[in-house]
Structure 1
Amino acid sequence: MTRTYVVTGSASGIGKATRDLLSEQGHRVIGVDIAEADISVDLGSPEGRTELVRRVEEESGGTVDAVLAVAGLSSPTAATAAVNFFGTVATLEGLRPLLARSSAPRAVAVSSMAALFPPDDELLEQFLAGDEAGAMDRAAVLAGDPATAGLIYGSSKRALSRWIRRAAPSPEWAGASIALNAVAPGVVYTPMTAELTGTAEGREQLLQMVPMPLNGFFAPEDAAELLVWLSSVANAHLCGQVIYIDGGSDAVLRGDSVW
């Protein structure tokens, strides 16, 4: 069965690998990125998010079978807060009416194992309250101090994971038969991580922070396989799950804890 997919972040990394895999399987893919995509928009801006929804509705004919919200940033800047949380949520919520017209709608977001690390509580609260102006102000403060700038990324991913858990079983998602879930990768060899994984010393330092005992760091194609299954017709019952594809980081860091 040929399905229509929307993949954000489709120009590189996990998004590109996912787009390529879906295309190889014969599906129609509408790629979204800031450049070099079917739809080029900035998901860090409200205008870009509005344009995304308009263009997808136009190009899809009004029905989308699956949305894969992969786009994200890892820079220690306020832009990371805008794209990773508000851009992802706006993508999913904005395209939800188009998903509801599918006979087997699916949506998957990309979180991160970085959600396991302690967040900035103030930023986390503003994310979950939907206060973008407040979140951007707080992120700018964090970004101004090298000791706290790294908290922006993990906080944005923890907020996204929590949003997925809260939204997925709601009448708007599960009640409309839309399966909403997330994947949380460990360290993946992508342009986003190239600076960290480019040397043996860098890789060893990273493994001290992100232990991945099962086969270590991996290629984006591995994450793409999971994303494609979660967004397929076969996945009819997973709801609000954050699946850690991380070589064991979650098990090592959280031990017996299941959340």
Structure 2
Amino acid sequence: MTAPLIDLNADLGEGFGRWRLTDDEELLSVVTSANVACGFHAGDAATMRRVCDRAAERGVRIGAQVSYRDLAGFGRRAMDVPAAELAAEVAYQIGALEVFARAAGTRVSYVKPHGALYNRVVHDEEQARAVVDGVLLADAALPLLGLPGSRLLETAEKAGLPVVTEAFADRAYTEEGTLVPRTAEGAVVTEADSVVARSVGMARFGVVTSRGGREIEVRARSLCLHGDTPGAVGLARRVRAELESAGVRVEAFA
């Protein structure tokens, strides 16, 4: 029997200037894919270069984490951006990160929306199309990482882009298989044992328990471990160790 296969991704480079949110150095020793902030919700040129250099040294795949232009709100505020403008801004962010990835001897391997944009393109076909258009403008071979069943992945597939499904270790799910909004109570799962058990269940069996208590299907090739929560590095290490102990192969998709 073939062992289950999972990629571990985390949002990295989420600082600006002297301020740093995530422990990039330590998380890069755990994850197989790094979603690097491209300057619109977080990140600056020096941070992007540093993370790309460290990721390349450790063989971690680099992904462009594109966002609405919202530094003040960390990309988590709902915004209405015209489709043509959003497509151009997505391509711009990918291009900026590609410079530093190539300087480090590697390249951008995939694209993942962040925050409010990620949630918007689950249902909004116009905004999903704009993101896809931006990726096509930058590199028509780049995979898009997103929520199973989302408008984003449906639109990407129709446009001929590779797609990769993603699950979240520490986010609560609705019974429809979408993420509970961060504004709702219990949206983030903070109990470590629960995060570990959910991770193993999604990787091995493709299921997770929704906030309402129902077991739902979540088929994913990549598992997101958030790096901006207290104790994130220790929890990430524990998740990876438990996955490997359960017979799951931890390996990048890109």
**TM-score range, shorter-chain basis?**
0.3 to 0.5
Name the structure where strand makes up a greater proportion of residues. Answer: 2
Name the structure where helix makes up a greater proportion of residues. Answer: 1
TM-score by length of 1: 0.35
